[in-house]
Amino acid sequence: QSVLTQPPSVSGAPGQRVTISCTGSSSNIGAGYDVHWYQHLPGTAPKLLIYVNKNRPSGVPDRFSGSKSGTSASLAITGLQADDEANYFCQSFDSSLRGPVFGPGTKLTVL
Amino acid sequence: HITLKESGPTLVKPTQTLTVTCALSGLSLSANGVGVGWIRQPPGKALEWLALIYWDDDTYYTPSLKNRLTVTKDTSKNQVVLAMTNMDPVDTATYYCAHRMVEASGAFDVWGQGTMVTVSS
């Protein structure tokens, strides 16, 4: 069972906006540790989308944005496109486990 | 342009030791601040962090597997090696190596494609 929780799936039509939540606890996100987001297609290398809560690496479109509040963080994707269909997972640090922790992933379906 | 590529056996028997290698290009393992992590994902399950090694040979392990894991680096080959002893079918997973960003709270900015390892007799 993951230390971080995410909805198993979200969906949206092309052009719409979706958000994916990542909920933690007082030993990780709630303790102030930063959150990172990745996009993952099966059989490929995960791709960093957002780091340190809200920062985009070079090359990631501004359709992707991140936020964090309290014990949760969110990834928002606007202007949904067909090739956004993928798994998205969050990452933070947990003081009890003394290392990085990952969410279970959320499958985004573009209708 | 940093790339990482994992290699290793696709099948190991229970109780055997798994050795997987991560070859880096575009970045020297001896450069100040460089860190490489190992993460695995069992089929249908979440990612699990396993280990981290830094340019100065500092290492960290997930507590639940600490006694079974060893991570080392070979700077002459620019490779990182993960060894996991006493493999069990529950260790069946895709094993990834990833570059840890400097000054980014532990984000991994470049990942390998992963190597799938099945544990079965």
Q: Can you say whether the dihedral through the CA atoms of A1, B85, A100, B96 is positive or negative?
A: negative
Give A46's contacts in chain B (Cβ within 8 Å): 96, 98, 108, 111
Measured in whole angstroms, how far is the alpha carbon of residue B46 from the centre of its chain?
16
Q: Are strands A86-94 and A99-102 parallel, antiparallel or unpaired?
A: antiparallel
The average pLDDT across B97-104 equals 90
Phi, psi of B53 (to 5 degrees): -135, 140
Q: Please report the pLDDT score of residue B9 as a whole number.
A: 97
Integer Cα distance of B36 and B80 in angstroms? 8
Other Cβ atoms less than 10 A from the Cβ of A6: the count is 24
Residues B105, A100: C-beta atoms closer than 8 Å: no
Give A103's contacts in chain B (Cβ within 8 Å): 46
- By C-alpha distance, the chain B residue nearest A5 is B46
DSSP per-residue codes, B30-60: TSTT-EEEEEEE-TTS--EEEEEEETT--EE
Q: Please report the pLDDT score of residue B24 as a whole number.
A: 96
Q: Please report the pLDDT score of residue B103 as a whole number.
A: 80
Q: Which of A46, A97, A100 sits opposite B111 (nearest CB)?
A: A46
Residues of chain A with pLDDT under 70: none
pLDDT above 90: residue B18:
yes
The dihedral formed by the CA atoms of A73, B97, B65 and A7, expressed in degrees to the nearest 10:
30
Integer Cα distance of A64 and B113 in angstroms? 23
Give B98's contacts in chain A (Cβ within 8 Å): 46
Q: Are strands B35-41 and B59-61 parallel, antiparallel or unpaired?
A: unpaired
pLDDT above 90: residue B10:
yes
Q: Please report the pLDDT score of residue A70 as a whole number.
A: 96
B58-87 per-position pLDDT tens digit: 999 999 999 999 999 999 999 999 999 999
Residues B104, A52: C-beta atoms closer than 8 Å: yes
B101 in contact with chain A, both atoms CB, cutoff 8 A: yes
Q: Please report the pLDDT score of residue B75 as a whole number.
A: 94
pLDDT above 90: residue B102:
no
Phi, psi of A54 (to 5 degrees): -145, 5
Q: Are strands B79-84 and B69-74 parallel, antiparallel or unpaired?
A: antiparallel
pLDDT above 90: residue B22:
yes
Residues A51, B105: C-beta atoms closer than 8 Å: yes
Give percent of chain B above pLDDT 90.
91
Give A48's contacts in chain B (Cβ within 8 Å): 107-110
DSSP per-residue codes, B54-115: ETT--EEE-GGGGGGEEEEEETTTTEEEEEE-S--GGG-EEEEEEEEPTTSTT-EEEE---E
